[in-house]
Amino acid sequence: MQAHALEGGFTNAPIDAARAFRGLMTAMARPGTICDVSGATAPAPLSVAAGTAILTLCDPDTPIYLGAACDTQDVRDWITFQTGAPFAPADKAMFAVGGWDDLPLAKFAIGTAEYPDRSATLIVEMPELSSHGATLSGPGIKDTASLSLPDCAAFQANAMLFPLGLDFIFTCADRLAALPRTTRVR
């Protein structure tokens, strides 16, 4: 393990983790809302927002899948030291991080009828994140919201699986937005 794995975690863990958790929960409760987050400085190619989400959500009991571009020794060492999360293939992962084209959507767990919560949450690194694009509606959205999404059809199909399905966190630089499976996309 390299020394860089020891760096980039939360400086003031209780305060930084609480702020990051609040940002993540705000984004998940209000789909389409873009939140600023900080606290983590993960190794490239992970963004500040992706690193912060990983530090906030992952622990030794939450297997994580790394998309091809994120699957570097530096990233593996950092996640191992900072969270203890084990690495897993897509079908066994509770969390995943990577670019849209690096994440095999069909392989991730979508939950079961008895346990719909046993689905994966995907942290999708985006080149840009903006409040323009697809129209969102559903729980947590007063009328409608808009969010730049990589593939509307995939999210429409995901919403039709409810109560099963995947949840998404989109990250870019120090910003993130979420798209839970309950959100309808047009």
Q: How many domains does the chain have?
A: 1
Q: Which domain holds residue 118?
A: 3-185
- How would you class 176 by CB atoms within 10 Å of its CB: exposed for 0-12, middle for 13-18, buried for 19 or more? buried
- Residue (of 184, 174, 167) closest to 28 by Cα position: 167
Local confidence pLDDT in tens for the 186 residues of the chain: 565 667 778 889 899 999 999 999 999 999 999 999 999 999 999 999 999 999 999 999 999 999 999 999 999 999 999 999 999 999 999 999 999 999 999 999 999 999 999 999 999 999 999 999 999 999 999 999 999 999 999 999 999 999 999 999 999 999 999 999 999 999
CATH of residue 98: 3.40.50.11310
Q: Which amino acid does the sequence have at 110?
A: I
Residue 167 β-bridge partners: 121
